[in-house]
A and B are shown apart, each in its own frame.
Chain A
Amino acid sequence: MIEEIFSNILIYFVVIPVLMLAGLALCKNIKQIRAVALVGSIALMALSVYVLVDYLQLRAAGETAQMLYTDSWQWFGPLNIHLAVGVDGISIAMLLLSAIILFTGTFASWKIDPMPKEFFLWLILLSTGVFGFFISIDLFTMFMFYEVALIPMYLLIGVWGSGKKNYSAMKLTLMLMGGSAFLMLGLIGIYYHSAPEGGQLTWNLIEISQNNAIDRDWQYFLFPMTFVGFGVLGAMFPFHTWSPDGHASAPTAVSMLHAGVLMKLGGYGCFRVAIYLMPEAANDLAWIFLILTGISVVYGAFSACVQTDLKYINAYSSVSHCGLVLFAILMLNTTAMTGAIMQMLSHGLMTALFFALIGMIYGRTHTRDIREMGGLMKIMPFLAVCYVIAGMASLGLPGLSGFVAEMTIFVGSFQHTDMFHRVFTIVACCSIVITAVYILRVVGKLLFGPVQDEHHLQLTDATWWERFSTVSLIICVAAIGCFPGFFSDLISFTFSENIFKVLGIN
C-alpha cells in the first residue's frame, strides 16, 4: 500500500512540503530556514515542470483520459473516503503557479522578523494544503486540504501582519469559514446523491460525474451551496469584503500566496465541483451568479479608483479581476472558460508581483499611502520599472499576461448566442477603461512627479533577492503574454463537451 502510494508521482506534491515542515522543525538559524524553504520550493517547481512535460508527452502519445496519473487509495472505509489523485492540464498549470509563487514568496520573506521559523512553518503548511487541493479528485480530501490551506492564514496575519491585524485575521477567517460551512453542506449533499439508488456512494469527482445521479431538484440546492462556498474565496460580490482588509494586514509573502494562489482555489472549485458535477443547475442558474460576478468586475474596479492605500487598491483590483474569472466560468463555453483559467494564471502571477513590490516599497518608506509618496522612479528605478510593468500587465497591455486572458474571456463570452450574456460581456469590457484609470493614477502619483518626502531620497533600490523574485515573476507574466497558444491548448482540452456535460446543453 505505502509503496503503491509512493509510486504515484503526484503524491510528492504533498510529500515535499511535509518533508520541508520536518526540515524546518530541525532548523536552528535563519540561513538553514532559507535553505530548506528554497530547496523545497525549487524541488516543487522542478516537479511541476517535470509533470507538465511528461503530461504533454502522454497527451501527444494519444492519451485521451480526462485525468492522468489517477490513483485512489482507501482512507476511511465506512464513508468510502479515498485519497484519490489525478491531474489534467488545468491542475498542472495551477500546480506550476503555486510552486512559482511559493518560490518567489520565499525570496520576498528573506528578512522576515520575528520568528522566521514559525512563519515558514505556517507558510509551508498552507502550501501543503494548496498542493493537496490541486491534486485531489476526491471531494472529501479536497475539502480537507482546502481547510488546511485556510487555517494557517489566521495565524500568519494575526502574528506577522500589520495595521488592524487582529480584526482582519478574524474577519478573513470567519468569512472563509462561513463559506466552508456552505461548502461542506453542499459536498455532503453531493455525496448522498453521488450514485443511483442502491449504488455505492462515492466522493470521487469523476465517478460522480459518470454516475450522473444528482437529480435536477437537488442540483438546484447543491449548486448554489458549492458555488457560493467556493465563491467566497474567489471574492465574489457581496462576499468579498474580507479581501481588502485581509490583504492590507497580511505580510508580503502571505498576500502573495493568498491573492496569487489561494483565491484561485475558489475559482478552481467553482468549475471543478459546482459546474462539473451539476451541469443542469449550472445551466439554469448561471445567470444569477453572472449578475453578481458582473457587478464584482465593475464594482471592484470603481472602488479601486478612490483608495489611497496601495494594498487596498490591489485588493479591490483583485476583486475585479477574480470576478472576471467567475464571470467567464459562468459563460459555459469552451473559449470563455479557457480564458477564465488563463485569467487565474495571469492574475496569480501579476498580483503576486504587485504584492511583492508593495511589500518592498513599504519596507523602505514605511507607508502605503500614495498621498505620502511620489517620484519613486528617481529613487528606486528598478522597483519602479517593475511596478510599471505589473501595472501594464494589469491593465491588459499586449505581450503581458493580462491581455490574452481578458481577450479570450471577452471573445469567448461574446460568442454566447444569448443577448443577455453579450450585453453583460460589454458591461464587463468597461472594466478595461476603469482599470487603466486606477492603475495610471497610482503609477502617476507613486512613481512619477516630484519626490514628496525628503527622507525618501536616502532609500536604496532593490537587493539581489528582491530583484530575483520580481524578475522571475515578470518573466512568467511575459511568457504567458507572448505564448498564449501553449497555455490555451493545455487548458482547453478539459473544456470539451464529453467532459463538461454543461457545454453540450446549449
Chain B
Amino acid sequence: MDQTIPLLILALPLCMFLVLGLTGHKMSHKMAGILGTLGMGTALVLAYTTAFTYFFGGNFVDEAGNRLQHIVFNYDWLAFTDNLVIRLGFLLDPISAMMLVVITTISFMVHLYSLGYMHGEKGFQRYYAFLSLFSFSMLGLVVATNIFQMYIFWELVGASSYLLIGFYYTKPSAVSASKKAFIVTRFADLGFLIGILILSFYSNTFDFVTMTQAPGNVLASTGGAVFMGGSVLTWALVLIFMGGMGKSAMMPLHIWLPDAMEGPTPVSALIHAATMVVAGVFLVARMFPVYLVEEVALEIVTWVGALTALYAAIVACTQVDIKRVLAFSTISQIAFMVVSLGVARPELHEGVGYMASMFHLFTHAMFKALLFLGAGALIHAVHSNDFTSMGGLRKHMPITHITFLIGCLAIAGIYPFAGFFSKDEILVAAYSNSMMWGIWMTAVAGLTAFYMFRLYYRIFWWNNPDYSKHHHTPHDAPWTMTLPLILLATVSCVAGFIPFGELVTWNREAYEIHLNYPIAITSVVVALCAIGLATIMYRKENSLPDKVADKVKGLWTAAYHRFYFDELYLFITHKIIFNLVSRPIAWFDRQIIDGTMDKFAEVTNKASEAIKGLQSGRVQSYVLVYLLGALLVGVVTVICMVL
C-alpha cells in the first residue's frame, strides 16, 4: 500500500494541533473551528479509504483467505540495542483498520458538534488544538507496530486527556479532576512500563508481529522463570494489563473516570466514552495471542472485568448526575469487552469472545458517543447536569429525545439496535466459557437496561417542571449539534448488521456469525423486564423509587458514594503518600542529613572558637606561656637529673 495516505492520516491532526496551538490566538473562533473540523474531515475520508482498501481491496488476504497484517511503514526512531528498537510505524490489520474508522468518525462528529456546543467559549482555539492532539495520539496508538510505540502514544493520549479534562482551568474541580486522571493513569502506566521491560528483557523484541506470530517463543524465552509464585510471563502480561486497567477505568483504577466528566461534554463523548477508554481493551486484543499462552493472565482479566461490570452497573443505578450515570455505564460496558476477551479461547466457537469484544467496542463507541452528545445537548439546554432539574423534556427537544431513546435501546441490547448483536456475541462467549460468567453478564446486561431507562424516564418523562424561570425554555440545539446526533443514531440502528465475523477475528480468519437463539431471547427478555421495571418506577413522578431506596438503604448509600473508592484514594494519597512518606522524608532531609552537615560546620566553628584564644596577639600572654613553658622544661630537666 502507498505510504502517503496512512502518513497523512497521522500528519493531518498533528499539523492541526501545531497550527492551532501556535497561531490559534491570532485566529477567529470560526476560522479555528472550521480549520480543525476540515482537517479531521479529511483524515476521516482518508481513514475510510484505507479501511475500505484493507477490508475489501482484496490485496490483504493470503491464499487461505485469511487477512494479513500489513506494515505500511516502520521508521527507526531510537535504537536501544540491536534488537530493541523503537520504531514509528503503521500496522494495518483488522483491528487497527476498524479503530481508524471508529476514531475518525467519533472525532469528526465531536469536532462538528463542538462548533455549536463550545460556541463563544474562551479558549475555543485551544480546545480545537487539544482535540487534534488527542486524535493524533489516539490514531498513533492504534496503528502502533511495536509495544513501545504504543506506550509513547499511550502517554500522549493521557496528556491530551489531562489537558482536555482541565480545559476550564479556573474551576478548581476541573483542575483536581485532571490531576487525578493523570496520576491514576500514570500509576497504571508504571505497571505497563515494567511489563514492557520484563517482556522485552525475555523476548528481546518490542515488535507486535514478531511477538504474536510465534507467542510460544516468548514463553520459551523466559525459560520457565518464576517470580513470587507466578511465571514471569504472567507477571509481565498482568502488569501490561494494569496499564490497560488504568486507561480503561477498570476497578480499582476507575476512580478518575467519573471525575473526568468535569471536562466539556463533547470531550467526554470522544475520549471518555468512545476512544481513549477502550485503549486497554485494544491493548489486550493486540497482544491476545501472547495472552493465550498464559491462561492465568486471561483468568485475571476476566475477573477484573466481571467485577467492574457489576460494580459500575450498581453504582450507575444510584447516580443523579447524567454524565456520571453515563460514565459508570461506560465503565460497565468496557468491562463487558474486557470480560469478552478474558473468556475467549480459540477452541470455544472459534474464539468468538475476541470478535465480540471488538464488535462491542465498535457499536458501543457509536451509541455511547450518541448518548454523551445527547447529554451535552440537554445540559446545553437546561444548564444543569442533574436530572433532578430535568423532566418532561420530550416535548421541548424532540430530536434529542428520539436519538437519546435510540441510544438507550441500543445499549440495553434490544433487537435490532447495534448493542443487541454485539452484546449477544459477548454472552455467547461468556456462556461457552462457563455458566457462571454467562449468568453474571446477563444479570449485568439487565441492570444496564434498568439504569439507562431510569435515566431516560427521569430526563424525558417523570414530571413537567416549570422551565419559565430559565431565561429561555429548553429547545433543540443548532444543526451542528443535532446533525451528529442524527448520524450517530442512524449508525446505532444499523451497525449491528455489519458482518463483523468476516472482518475482525482473533486469527484474522473469516467466519459467519450465527444468532444463538436461546441466549439472544433470554437476554432480550431480561432487558425488557428491566425496562418494564424502570417504566413502572420512573415514568410518572411517584414515591416508589424513594421507598425502594429506603428498603435497601445500606446498599443504596454505599452505591451512591461509589462504595467509597474515592475516599480510599484520598486516604492513600493524602494520609499515606503525603503525610506518612513525603513529609517524613522531607523532615529527615532537612533535620538529619542537612543537620549533620550543619553540625559539621558548627563543630568546626566551635573548635576554632575554642582555640583562637591561643593566638590573641597579646605579647604579655605569649611571654607568660613562654615563661611557664620554660619553667616546665626546667622542672622536668631537674627531675630527670635528680632521678
Interface residue ranges, A against B (CB under 8 Å): 171, 174-175, 237-238, 240-242, 299, 302-303, 305-307, 334-335, 375, 377-378, 392, 395-399, 403-404, 407-408, 410-412, 414-415, 422, 425-426, 429-430, 432-433, 436-437, 440-441, 444, 447-450, 484-485, 488
Contact = CB atoms under 8 A, between A and B. Distances in A.
Nearest to A170: B601
Contacts of B76: 485
B200 interface: yes
A432 B182 contact: no
B247 to A, nearest CB: 15
A306 B583 contact: yes
Contacts of B528: none
A307 B589 CA distance: 12
B601 A171 contact: yes
Interface string B551-578: 0000000000000000000000100011
Contacts of A422: 201
Given A403-B155, A488-B79, A425 B197 contact: yes
13 contacts: A303-B585, A397-B155, A398-B152, A403-B155, A426-B194, A429-B190, A432-B193, A436-B183, A436-B186, A437-B183, A444-B178, A448-B166, A448-B170
B229 interface: no
Contacts of A335: 80-81
A306 B155 contact: no
A440 B183 contact: yes
B168 to A, nearest CB: 9
Nearest to B595: A241
Nearest to A435: B186
Contact of A305 (B77, B152, B582, B597): B582
B603 interface: no
Given A433-B186, A488-B79, A448 B169 contact: yes
Interface string B141-166: 00000001000110110010000001
B183 A485 contact: no
Contact of A444 (B176, B190, B597): B176
B183 A415 contact: no
B175 A302 contact: no
A433 B80 contact: no
Given A241-B593, A398-B156, A432-B190, A485 B78 contact: yes
A174 B593 contact: no
A414 B197 contact: yes
Given A237-B593, A397-B155, A450-B170, 9 more contacts: A302-B582, A303-B582, A392-B159, A411-B197, A415-B84, A430-B190, A433-B186, A444-B179, A448-B175
**How would you classify the secondary structure of chain A's contact residues: helix, strand, loop or mixed?**
helix
Given A436-B183, A450-B172, A411 B578 contact: no
A411 B183 contact: no
| Interface of B (DSSP majority class) | helix
Contact of B201 (A395, A414, A449): A414
B603 to A, nearest CB: 13
B169 A429 contact: no
A107 B578 CA distance: 37
Contacts of A485: 76-79
A440 B81 contact: no
A412 B197 CA distance: 9
A181 to B, nearest CB: 13
A392 B133 CA distance: 15
Contacts of A377: 169
A432 B183 CA distance: 10
A448 to B, nearest CB: 4
Interface in B55-92: 76-81, 84, 86
Contacts of B155: 396-398, 403
Contacts of A175: 597
Contacts of B577: 305, 437
Nearest to A395: B186
A421 to B, nearest CB: 11
Given A303-B586, A437-B183, A441-B179, A375 B170 contact: yes
Interface size classification for chain B: 35 or more
Contacts of B596: 238
Contact of B80 (A305, A378, A408, A440): A408
Nearest to A436: B186
B511 interface: no
B231 to A, nearest CB: 16
A258 to B, nearest CB: 18
Contacts of B189: 432
A306 B577 CA distance: 10
Contacts of A305: 577-578, 582, 586
Given A426-B194, A485-B77, A488-B79, A415 B201 contact: yes
A433 B170 contact: no
A242 B597 CA distance: 9
A422 B227 CA distance: 13
B506 to A, nearest CB: 29
B142 to A, nearest CB: 16
Given A171-B597, A433-B190, A448-B175, A303 B589 contact: yes
B594 interface: yes
A334 B593 CA distance: 33
B630 interface: no
Nearest to A242: B597
Contact of B183 (A174, A399, A433): A433
Contacts of B200: 411, 414
B597 A411 contact: no
B187 interface: yes
Nearest to A485: B78
Nearest to A489: B79
Contacts of A414: 197-198, 200-201
B166 A241 contact: no
B586 A306 contact: yes
Nearest to A384: B169
B523 to A, nearest CB: 41
* 8 nearest A-B residue pairs (beta carbon): A241-B594, A305-B582, A448-B169, A398-B152, A414-B197, A448-B175, A436-B186, A306-B582
B581 interface: yes
A163 to B, nearest CB: 15
Given A241-B593, A448-B170, A410 B186 contact: no
B170 A429 contact: no
Contacts of B586: 302-303, 305-307
B134 to A, nearest CB: 14
A237 B197 CA distance: 26
A444 B155 CA distance: 19
A452 to B, nearest CB: 12
A73 to B, nearest CB: 39
Contacts of B593: 237-238, 240-241
A305 B585 CA distance: 10
A341 to B, nearest CB: 14
A173 to B, nearest CB: 11
Contacts of A375: 170
Contacts of B198: 414
A171 B596 CA distance: 12
A488 B582 contact: no
A58 to B, nearest CB: 22
Interface in B419-478: none
A326 to B, nearest CB: 17
A403 B77 CA distance: 13
A411 B194 CA distance: 10
Contacts of B197: 410-411, 414, 425-426, 429
A138 to B, nearest CB: 32
Interface in B249-298: none
Q: Which of B152, B201, B586, B601 has the most C-beta atoms of chain A within 10 angstroms of its own C-beta?
A: B586
B585 A299 contact: yes
A425 B196 CA distance: 13
Contacts of B175: 444, 448-449
Interface in B340-398: none
Contact of B179 (A237, A433, A440, A488): A440
